[in-house]
Amino acid sequence: MYTVTVTRSFVAQHFLTVPDPGPEGERHSHTFDVEARLAGPELDEYGYLVDIDDVKAALDATLSRYRDETMNELVEFAGQNPSVERFAREVCERFVEAASLDAPQHVSVRVWEDDVASATYETPL
Protein backbone atom coordinates (compact mmCIF):
# COMPACT_ATOMS: atom_id res chain seq x y z
CA MET A 1 0.00 0.00 0.00
CA TYR A 2 1.33 3.42 -0.97
CA THR A 3 0.59 6.53 1.05
CA VAL A 4 1.02 10.24 0.39
CA THR A 5 0.58 12.86 3.10
CA VAL A 6 0.22 16.62 2.67
CA THR A 7 0.26 18.95 5.67
CA ARG A 8 -1.01 22.50 6.05
CA SER A 9 -1.23 24.94 8.99
CA PHE A 10 -3.70 27.74 9.64
CA VAL A 11 -5.33 29.68 12.47
CA ALA A 12 -9.03 29.44 13.36
CA GLN A 13 -11.14 30.08 16.44
CA HIS A 14 -13.82 28.23 18.34
CA PHE A 15 -15.37 27.87 21.77
CA LEU A 16 -16.69 24.68 23.26
CA THR A 17 -20.39 24.42 24.06
CA VAL A 18 -20.36 21.46 26.46
CA PRO A 19 -21.41 21.77 30.11
CA ASP A 20 -18.63 23.23 32.25
CA PRO A 21 -16.13 23.78 29.42
CA GLY A 22 -13.74 25.79 31.60
CA PRO A 23 -11.53 28.22 29.70
CA GLU A 24 -12.28 26.38 26.44
CA GLY A 25 -15.80 27.84 26.64
CA GLU A 26 -14.37 31.24 25.73
CA ARG A 27 -13.55 32.09 22.12
CA HIS A 28 -9.91 31.18 21.53
CA SER A 29 -7.56 30.51 18.64
CA HIS A 30 -5.65 27.43 17.62
CA THR A 31 -2.93 27.04 15.07
CA PHE A 32 -4.30 23.89 13.50
CA ASP A 33 -2.07 21.49 11.57
CA VAL A 34 -3.99 19.34 9.10
CA GLU A 35 -2.59 16.17 7.54
CA ALA A 36 -4.41 14.70 4.54
CA ARG A 37 -3.24 11.12 4.03
CA LEU A 38 -4.17 9.18 0.89
CA ALA A 39 -3.55 5.46 0.43
CA GLY A 40 -3.88 3.03 -2.42
CA PRO A 41 -2.29 -0.14 -3.81
CA GLU A 42 -1.36 1.12 -7.31
CA LEU A 43 0.71 3.88 -8.86
CA ASP A 44 -0.19 5.54 -12.14
CA GLU A 45 1.88 5.40 -15.31
CA TYR A 46 4.18 8.13 -13.95
CA GLY A 47 4.81 6.41 -10.63
CA TYR A 48 2.38 8.58 -8.63
CA LEU A 49 -0.40 7.61 -6.29
CA VAL A 50 -1.68 11.21 -6.61
CA ASP A 51 -0.39 14.47 -7.97
CA ILE A 52 0.86 16.20 -4.82
CA ASP A 53 0.24 19.65 -6.32
CA ASP A 54 -3.41 18.71 -6.90
CA VAL A 55 -3.69 17.48 -3.31
CA LYS A 56 -2.14 20.71 -2.00
CA ALA A 57 -4.57 22.79 -4.07
CA ALA A 58 -7.63 20.80 -2.90
CA LEU A 59 -6.52 20.96 0.73
CA ASP A 60 -5.82 24.70 0.50
CA ALA A 61 -9.26 25.26 -1.06
CA THR A 62 -10.88 23.22 1.71
CA LEU A 63 -9.07 25.00 4.51
CA SER A 64 -9.75 28.47 3.13
CA ARG A 65 -13.29 28.05 4.50
CA TYR A 66 -11.94 27.84 8.07
CA ARG A 67 -8.86 30.07 8.01
CA ASP A 68 -9.30 33.02 10.41
CA GLU A 69 -12.95 32.07 11.04
CA THR A 70 -14.83 31.11 14.22
CA MET A 71 -16.08 27.58 13.67
CA ASN A 72 -19.14 28.09 15.89
CA GLU A 73 -20.44 30.64 13.36
CA LEU A 74 -20.29 28.22 10.40
CA VAL A 75 -23.41 26.34 9.33
CA GLU A 76 -21.78 22.92 9.61
CA PHE A 77 -21.31 23.45 13.34
CA ALA A 78 -24.72 25.05 14.04
CA GLY A 79 -26.08 23.62 17.27
CA GLN A 80 -23.05 21.34 17.68
CA ASN A 81 -19.97 21.44 19.85
CA PRO A 82 -17.10 22.28 17.45
CA SER A 83 -14.76 19.60 18.74
CA VAL A 84 -11.54 18.69 16.97
CA GLU A 85 -13.17 15.32 16.15
CA ARG A 86 -16.06 16.99 14.31
CA PHE A 87 -13.65 19.36 12.68
CA ALA A 88 -11.55 16.45 11.33
CA ARG A 89 -14.68 14.90 9.78
CA GLU A 90 -15.79 18.18 8.17
CA VAL A 91 -12.36 18.80 6.69
CA CYS A 92 -12.11 15.21 5.42
CA GLU A 93 -15.52 15.23 3.74
CA ARG A 94 -14.94 18.63 2.13
CA PHE A 95 -11.45 17.63 1.01
CA VAL A 96 -12.77 14.47 -0.68
CA GLU A 97 -15.35 16.59 -2.54
CA ALA A 98 -12.70 19.11 -3.65
CA ALA A 99 -10.00 16.65 -4.73
CA SER A 100 -9.73 14.57 -7.89
CA LEU A 101 -9.00 11.18 -6.37
CA ASP A 102 -8.93 8.27 -8.80
CA ALA A 103 -6.18 5.95 -7.56
CA PRO A 104 -6.39 6.21 -3.76
CA GLN A 105 -8.77 3.87 -2.00
CA HIS A 106 -8.61 5.48 1.41
CA VAL A 107 -8.25 8.98 2.83
CA SER A 108 -7.74 10.17 6.37
CA VAL A 109 -7.51 13.67 7.75
CA ARG A 110 -5.74 14.30 11.03
CA VAL A 111 -6.24 17.67 12.72
CA TRP A 112 -3.79 18.75 15.40
CA GLU A 113 -5.18 21.49 17.65
CA ASP A 114 -1.86 21.86 19.47
CA ASP A 115 1.42 19.99 19.80
CA VAL A 116 -0.06 17.14 21.89
CA ALA A 117 -3.69 16.63 20.81
CA SER A 118 -5.17 15.54 17.49
CA ALA A 119 -8.18 13.77 16.03
CA THR A 120 -8.47 11.75 12.81
CA TYR A 121 -11.37 10.97 10.51
CA GLU A 122 -10.95 8.20 7.93
CA THR A 123 -13.05 7.07 5.00
CA PRO A 124 -12.76 4.60 2.13
CA LEU A 125 -13.14 6.04 -1.36
Domain ranges across the chain: 2-124
Q: Calculate helix-pair angle for 52-63, 84-98, nearest 10 degrees.
A: 130
Do residues 52 and 87 lie in contact, with contact meaning Cβ atoms separated by under 8 Å?
A: no
Do residues 15 and 74 lie in contact, with contact meaning Cβ atoms separated by under 8 Å?
A: no
SS3 at position 122: strand
| pLDDT over 70 percentage in the chain | 100
SS3 at position 43: coil
- The predicted model scores a pTM of 0.94
Per-residue pLDDT tens digits for 58-95: 999 999 999 999 999 999 999 999 999 999 999 999 99
pLDDT of residue 114: 93
Tell me which fold the domain 2-124 belongs to.
Answer: Tetrahydropterin Synthase; Chain A (3.30.479)
Question: In this structure, is the dihedral angle defined by the CA atoms of residues 14, 19, 24 and 27, taken in order, positive or negative?
Answer: positive
